[in-house]
Amino acid sequence: MPAKSAVNRVIKQIIEVGDIRIGGGELAVMAGPCAVESEEMLFRTAEAVSKEGAQILRGGAFKPRSSPKAFQGLGEPGLAMLRNAATAWGLAVITEVLDTRDVDLVANHADILQVGSRNMQNTALLKEVGKSCRPVLLKRGMSSTLEEWLLAAQYILDAGNPNVILCERGIRTFETATRNTLDLSAVSLVKELSGLPVIVDPSHSTGRRSLVTPMSKAAVAAGADGLIIEVHPEPENAACDGPQSLTPAEFGKLMSQVKRIYKAVIENGE
């Protein structure tokens, strides 16, 4: 059980990104493709997710892949495409940074810096994003305890950046029917322990399209402050993560169901 003193608990951190106040009583939705593949695809996706109510465009320009043979992302040109597509459709941008040397570059194009699961304990990177003026979305490591996750957040807070958003994205267990095991009890518990906003990733955690909507609803019922969801105009042609990407139409249906659950949660007075 994590010591209550593992992190310096904030009362309740609200993080402003453009017009959205993450953790401040409205649901933050980040949507977009796993990887930036082309400007055309990105504009189509940005248009679609914006119309369905997402406020933030996600997409990877630097991709941390298990295999060196897998697509590693478009790099800097991908960052510019993200910014252009987001601006065109009134969205903010979140994207991942992998290398201490790239933090400034990514911060020039993105509104939120993402630190991925594989780098959750990359302390050099945590310190570097902690010096940035951008909010940081910190994904839970694949096999990180809540305590380690909160201590990783503390690295960023200690470096001077108070704007940390936690993201539960599933943990590694023996179960192989889903890509990871989404740990929704962690959502309630880290909010209770840290006061930081928590976002849930139902796409990477389950790895199955049919589970993205039920897990989005469950996440919101568990108290999540937002969702990060993979949407692709043509999942069957996606460069990565096609099996769990939603089409824009599926994403629209998800949004309407999730909103109804969120309303019921709010009415409960929480």
Q: Which two tokens stand for residue 184?
A: 């929704």
Smallest distance from the beta carbon of 147 to a copy of itself, in angstroms? 7
Smallest distance from the beta carbon of 213 to a copy of itself, in angstroms? 9
Q: Which of 47, 76, 147, 250 binds a copy of itself (CB under 8 A)?
A: 147
| Interatomic CA distance for residues 140 and 145, integer angstroms | 8
What residue type is assigned to position 31 of the chain?
A: A
CB atoms under 10 Å from CB of 104, counted, come to: 12
The candidate with the shortest Cα–Cα distance to 115, out of 189, 41, 199, is 199
Stretch that binds a copy of itself, among 41-49, 53-61, 160-168, 213-221 (CB under 8 A): 213-221
Q: Which of 95, 194, 206, 244 binds a copy of itself (CB under 8 A)?
A: 206
Helix/strand/coil for 167: strand
Helix runs in 223-267, H state only: 248-267
Q: Which of 11, 66, 133, 236 binds a copy of itself (CB under 8 A)?
A: 66
Q: Which of 24, 65, 84, 107 binds a copy of itself (CB under 8 A)?
A: 65
Positive/negative CA dihedral, 126, 130, 134, 135: positive
Q: Which of 217, 231, 244, 255 binds a copy of itself (CB under 8 A)?
A: 217
Q: How far apart are the first and last CA of the chain?
A: 25
Nearer to a copy of itself, 84 or 257 (CB): 257
Q: Which of 91, 138, 222, 229 binds a copy of itself (CB under 8 A)?
A: 222
The candidate with the shortest Cα–Cα distance to 98, out of 56, 67, 128, 140, is 128
Q: Is 237 in the site for a copy of itself (CB under 8 A)?
A: no
> Which single residue is written with the structure tokens 């704007």?
163
Nearer to a copy of itself, 16 or 172 (CB): 172
Binding to a copy of itself (CB under 8 A): which residues in 161-200?
171-178, 181-189, 192
Binding to a copy of itself (CB under 8 A): which residues in 18-47?
none
Smallest distance from the beta carbon of 170 to a copy of itself, in angstroms? 8
Smallest distance from the beta carbon of 202 to a copy of itself, in angstroms? 9
Mark 101-140 with x for binding to a copy of itself (rule: CB under 8 A) and - for no binding.
xx---------------xx-xxxxx---------------
Binding to a copy of itself (CB under 8 A): which residues in 245-264?
256-257, 260-261, 263-264
Nearby residues of 87 by Cβ (< 8 Å), 6 or more positions away: none
Q: Which two tokens stand for residue 127?
A: 């310190």
Phi, psi of 205 (to 5 degrees): -65, -40
| Interatomic CA distance for residues 192 and 70, integer angstroms | 39
